[in-house]
Chain A
């Protein structure tokens, strides 16, 4: 068996959830990553997804974040994506111009 393409670390402080994705996101594992983040987001007030350690991400990863932002917004959960412009994830998010997702946290 292959090693997991990406690891998803979840930290929780009260209702603030922080998710750190390390590795690659493609067609083969995007659904798994999404399920992990969804589980982590349950009951949360705010969710932070840190993509700085992602070293491959294509449009499947973009779709994942897009879907996530819509779902969390519907549930009134605040989403922050950590993906600076000089990272792999940041560049593709900029390319695909997803509004409000490519911001660096304060």
Chain B
């Protein structure tokens, strides 16, 4: 119990002022009157009060000035000072009572000081018994007080009470007029000071709040993300309201059952710091605010406990004494701003207003940030889809499609690896079309998976639905084989089916290095990407199959052998374009006409793909049919016009046709819009056969197409070709023709097949071939040194025909086939080798046999255009080579990039069976 120090007591003389007189009992004393009853010392004291109050900014400072001056002036032992706040007296200073005096009293409390406020009058009580008889104040208060006179004085501004002032003293003497005047003056000055401080405080708080709101508004306006907004709000709430902790919570969607913490700040971060999210159905204060949408202010632990025992338990644990919680509505999502203080704390009306304004600012900011984020995400997503579409449109092969797709999906999702699987033709197996990613999540083994297997991707494919395993445990439980197949770093996985027109064509799987479940909007985006991919795959598949069909069709429509005639050697080459791998409409054919003449035709149907190949086939058939009643090349092309005009004709085609009379070497030819044939004479001169020219074939019925003629001396070379051979992008046609002429002239002494190969290689010159190419070489042979020539598909059953052809050629040459068995056997060995090894795995190519005689010798060349699997073939080490070497004078094997040529030299006549 604290006592006023003795030194402060004033001499009683002060109470006896000669000019003292009674003041009015209603406590309102006019200043001149009051001044009149005061002594000079009192005047000094009041001057000190005035000075002190003018410097006092807060309620506590005002109370100190008043109580410290009042106690000595009244010879009092105790002094109390209270301010009225919301119908309660809040005791700012209670000098002399130690700690027993309550902090607050309601206006219904049976205390003298409350009575004084209620009645707006000074109350004076003479002694303890008077106090006890009239009031119900606890004895411990009276025990702490002085036992004599008690005075309680309301602090009034006009008729409004703003506080109260009270003193007790040991002496039971009534207040003198001077003392009464002094108390009244102190009360008046205190009331004015309080009013001034209140106005100032209100103004200051209003300014701080206005600044806070302004800061929040501007922070919110520039905040790009939901988190930025929440941080700005928590910072200002803490600054302005002097709270000890603040949290902003929001549900993630309108259906969510939890509100997540967006941001929190302060020394007591949150009174529910133990749980990161608030369950909306929980029996807690915050949940109640979110549910009801109405703010709750619980200003003491008792208030928290009265409504929300669960919250009170947590609050007690964390030392929280007050909570202010206001609701948030962001679109259809709900949440709250929750502030806590370490002790009990009153939340003043203007603070409540501020908090609710802050909540509105927060809502607007969150809404804007969400829209902004959503827009940004949507933009990123649409950009991603745009990129993917662009990449897919350029992908022709299924593997390119898969890679373009996986690259972007991995980029977007951050997956560790991914695989795109396509179902094979029999529907039994998923085959990896593309695999991307690396590291610990990449599958150990994934070339193909049985559709019926319990893999993640096969399940997604089979059941045509997304499949996910959000954790390693789930992966191992639901898809143990996949878990085993994936690397140990695989923590979660996701698979989607690829569907085209309702039918699944494959599936793709993603593997993550962390445990995760893809958000719904990510899944939707992936589904859209997957659709794009599936369509592109289907496109690629159609393209591939069309290309394959067209290529096969074209190969089937082209002749697989050329005319064999003692008077000529003919070689033909066809090459598909390499750049686009598109099939063109080039064709060629050779004929033995009924009158013994030899015909060669080359043509080009405009267009690419299956249609062009089919047109080419029709045109070639028509050509073959027309040669049966051949009258002349120009006339034949004229009749071809009528075919072209017919219902199954062609739109536009070029063709040239040459007919050789083998006995005379006379060549008749005609060209319908086709590039000119090249004639290379044995002496190295060359001639472009540019006569007999007419328009391309397009169905002109009345056109008469001319023809021209030339002479092929023995050894002369005739080249027919399609424009793909001589046309290059960005180059004049004449350059291509010059190149062809130069190459053919230089090569004129080589075997015809080799001339064709090398002309193709040189004229094309390594540049990308955008069109398909046909090239035919025809050599007129000198009668005396006629050469055997045969080209045949590299198939075992062709070997016997080649032997038969060699036997009949030997007979033509006047040689006994039995005597020449060594030739048959050595050439047979070489052919057999070429058939067996040259085209391994690349379809039947061609094997070419040329046998020439001269100087009592036979020289045989066996050529293929394939690549041997290994250079050390049977021929170079095995029995076949041994047999050839044993029987021939000389043998050489030349292997180059274009194929292998075996040259065998044998004596012609001097061997026979003995």
**Complex Cα gap A5–B800 (Å):** 8
Chain B hits for A24, CB < 8 A: 800, 803
A14 CA / B830 CA spacing, docked (Å): 42
Q: B836 and A27: CB pair below 8 A?
A: yes
Say yes or no: B824 contacts A56, CB within 8 Å.
yes
Query: A39-81, CB under 8 A of B: which get 1 and which 0?
Result: 0000000000000000010111011000000000000000000
Q: How long is the Cα–Cα vector from A24 to B799 in the complex, in angstroms?
A: 11
Say whether A59 contacts B883, CB under 8 Å.
Answer: yes
* A16 lies within 8 A of chain B by Cβ: no
Interface centre among A27, A58, A92 (most CB of B within 10 A): A58
Contacts of A27 in B (CB 8 A): 796, 799, 832, 835-836
With A63-B879, A95-B883, A95-B887: A58-B800 Cβ-Cβ less than 8 Å: no
Are B829 and A58 interface neighbours, CB within 8 A?
yes
Q: Is the CB of A60 within 8 A of B832?
A: yes
Q: Is the CB of A86 within 8 A of B835?
A: no
Nearest Cβ distance between residue A60 and chain B, in whole angstroms? 7
When chains A and B are docked, how far (Å) is the Cα of A27 from the Cα of B831?
Answer: 10
- Knowing A26-B832, A27-B835, the reply to whether A59 touches B800 (Cβ < 8 A) is no
What chain B residues lie within 8 Å of A95 (beta carbons)? 882-883, 886-887
| Contact of B914 with A by CB under 8 A | yes
Question: Smallest CB-CB separation from A60: which chain B residue?
Answer: B832
- Contacting pair A26 B800 (CB below 8 A): yes
Are A58 and B880 in touch, CB under 8 angstroms?
yes
CA distance A27 to B836 in the complex (A): 8
Who on chain A is nearest to B803 by CB? A56
Q: Which of B883, B886, B914 contacts A58 (CB 8 A)?
A: B883
Chain A 66-106 interface 0/1 with B at a Cβ cutoff of 8 Å (1 = within): 00000000000000000000101000100110000000000
Q: How far is the CB of B810 from chain A (nearest CB, A)?
A: 14
The 6 closest A-B pairs by CB, nearest first: A28-B796, A59-B879, A27-B796, A59-B880, A27-B832, A28-B797
* Chain A residues within an 8 Å CB radius of B880: 58-59
| Residues of B contacting A58 in the complex (Cβ-Cβ under 8 angstroms) | 825, 828-829, 832, 880, 883
Nearest Cβ on chain B to A21's Cβ, whole angstroms: 15
The answer on a CB contact under 8 Å between B883 and A96 is yes
Cα-based distance from A26 to B797 in the complex (angstroms):
9
Contact of A2 among B800, B887, B913 (CB under 8 A): B800
Min CB gap A68→B, angstroms: 15
Chain B contributes a number of interface residues (CB within 8 A of A) equal to: 23
Q: How far is the CA of A2 from the CA of B800 in the complex (A)?
A: 10
10 of the cross-chain contacts (CB-CB < 8 Å) are A5-B800, A26-B796, A28-B797, A28-B799, A28-B800, A59-B880, A92-B883, A95-B886, A95-B887, A96-B883
User: Is B200 part of the binding interface, using a Cβ–Cβ cutoff of 8 Å?
Assistant: no
Q: Are A96 and B800 touching (Cβ within 8 A)? A: no
Q: Are A96 and B797 in contact (CB under 8 A)?
A: no
Q: Please, which residue of chain B has its CB at the minimum distance from the CB of A26?
A: B799
Q: Is B821 an interface residue (CB 8 A)?
A: yes
Q: Is B730 close to A, CB under 8 A? A: no
- The answer to the question of B32 belonging to the interface, with a C-beta cut-off of 8 Å to chain A, is no
Question: Which residue of B has the minimal Cβ distance to A66?
Answer: B879
Closest Cβ of chain B: how far from A55's Cβ, in Å?
9
Residues of B within 8 A of A26 (CB): 796, 799-800, 828, 832
Residue of A nearest to B828 (CB): A58
Closest beta carbon of chain A to B106's beta carbon, Å = 117
Q: Is B897 an interface residue (CB 8 A)?
A: no
Chain B residue, CB-CB nearest to A91: B821
B914 touches A86 (CB 8 A): yes
Q: Of all chain A residues, which has the CB nearest B796?
A: A28
CB distance from B294 to the nearest CB of A (A): 95
> Least Cβ distance of A58 to chain B in Å?
5
Contact partner, A96, options B796, B803, B882, Cβ 8 Å: B882
Q: Mark B246-271, 1 if CB is under 8 A from A, else 0.
A: 00000000000000000000000000
> Which residues of A sit under 8 angstroms from B803, Cβ to Cβ?
24, 56
Rounded to whole angstroms, the CA-CA distance of A83 and B879 in the bound complex is 18
Q: Chain A residues near B765 (CB, 8 Å)?
A: none
- Interfacial chain B residues near A63, Cβ < 8 Å: 879
Give every chain A residue within 8 A of B799 (Cβ-Cβ).
26-28
Residues 18-38 of chain A: 1 if any B CB is under 8 Å from the residue's CB, otherwise 0? 000000101110000000000
- A35–chain B nearest beta-carbon distance, Å: 15
**Residue ranges of B at the interface with A (Cβ–Cβ < 8 Å):** 796-797, 799-800, 803, 821, 824-825, 828-829, 832, 835-836, 874, 878-880, 882-883, 886-887, 913-914
Instruction: Assess whether B829 is in contact with A59, with CB atoms less than 8 Å apart.
Output: yes
CA distance A58 to B832 in the complex (A): 9
Residues from chain A with a CB closer than 8 A to the CB of B914 are 86
Q: Which one of A28, A86, A92 contacts B825 once the chains associate, using CB atoms below 8 Å?
A: A92
Question: Which residues of chain B are within 8 angstroms of A86 by Cβ–Cβ distance?
Answer: 913-914
Q: How far is the CB of B827 from chain A (nearest CB, A)?
A: 10
Residues of B within 8 A of A59 (CB): 829, 832, 874, 878-880, 883
Contact B828 A56 (CB under 8 A): yes
Chain A residues lying within 8 Å of B824, measured Cβ to Cβ, are 56
Highest count of chain B CB atoms <10 Å: which of A59, A60, A62: A59
Residues of A within 8 A of B797 (CB): 2, 28
Alpha-carbon distance A28/B913, docked complex (angstroms): 26
Query: How distant is the Cα of A26 from the Cα of B830 in the complex, in angstroms?
Result: 12
Report the Cα distance A56→B817, complex, angstroms. 12
Q: How far is the CA of A72 from the CA of B301 in the complex (A)?
A: 107
| Cα–Cα, bound, A63→B825 (Å) | 15
**Bound form: Cα–Cα A96–B829 in Å:** 13
A59 to B829, CA, bound (A): 7
- B836 and A62: CB pair below 8 A? no
Closest A residue, CB atoms, query B795: A28
* Contact partners of A92 in chain B: CB under 8 A: 825, 883
Nearest to B798 among chain A residues (CB) is A28
Q: Once the chains are docked, how many angstroms separate the CA of A92 from the CA of B914?
A: 15
The answer for the CA separation of A44 and B803 in the assembled complex, in Å, is 36
Q: Bound state CA distance, A96 and B878, in angstroms?
A: 10
A62 to B832, CA, bound (A): 14
Cα of A86 to Cα of B912 in the assembled complex, Å: 11
Cβ of B877 to closest chain A Cβ, rounded Å: 12
**Docked complex Cα distance between A91 and B914 (Å):** 12
List the B side residues contacting A28 at CB < 8 Å.
796-797, 799-800
Question: When chains A and B are docked, how far (Å) is the Cα of A60 from the Cα of B836?
Answer: 11
| Alpha-carbon gap, A2 to B797, bound state (A) | 9
Most B Cβ at <10 Å: residue of A26, A27, A92, A95: A27
A96 vs B884: C-alpha distance when bound (angstroms): 11
Complex CA gap A59/B835 in Å reads 14
A96 to B606, CA, bound (A): 57
Residues of B within 8 A of A62 (CB): 879
Q: Which residues of A contact B882 (CB under 8 A)?
A: 95-96
Which residues in A have their C-beta under 8 angstroms from that of B825? 56, 58, 92
CB distance from A39 to the nearest CB of B (A): 21
A5 to B803, CA, bound (A): 12
Q: Are A96 and B821 in contact (CB under 8 A)?
A: no
For B818, the closest partner residue in chain A by CB is: A55
Instruction: Give Cα A2 to B882, complex, Å.
Output: 30
**Chain A residue with the shortest CB-CB distance to B875:** A59
Give the chain A neighbours of B821 by CB distance below 8 A.
Answer: 88
Nearest residue, chain B, Cβ from A28? B796
Docked complex Cα distance between A15 and B4 (Å): 145
Cα A62 to Cα B879 in complex, Å, equals 8
Query: Which of chain A's residues has its CB closest to B821's CB?
Result: A88
Q: How far apart sit A92 and B21, CA to CA, in the bound complex (Å)? A: 162
Q: A56-B824, A59-B878, A96-B883 are in contact. List 7 more A-B contacts (CB 8 A).
A: A26-B828, A27-B836, A28-B796, A28-B797, A62-B879, A95-B886, A96-B882
How far apart are the CA atoms of A55 and B829 in the complex, in Å? 15
Q: Across the two chains, which residue of chain B brings its CB closest to A1?
A: B797
Bound Cα distance from A69 to B879, whole angstroms: 17
Distance, CA A63 to CA B828, complexed state (A)? 15
Residues of A within 8 A of B886 (CB): 95
Chain B residues with CB under 8 Å of A56's CB are 803, 824-825, 828
Measured CA separation A87–B874 after assembly (Å):
25
Cα A39 to Cα B689 with chains together (Å): 63
Question: Smallest CB–CB gap between A54 and chain B, Å?
Answer: 12
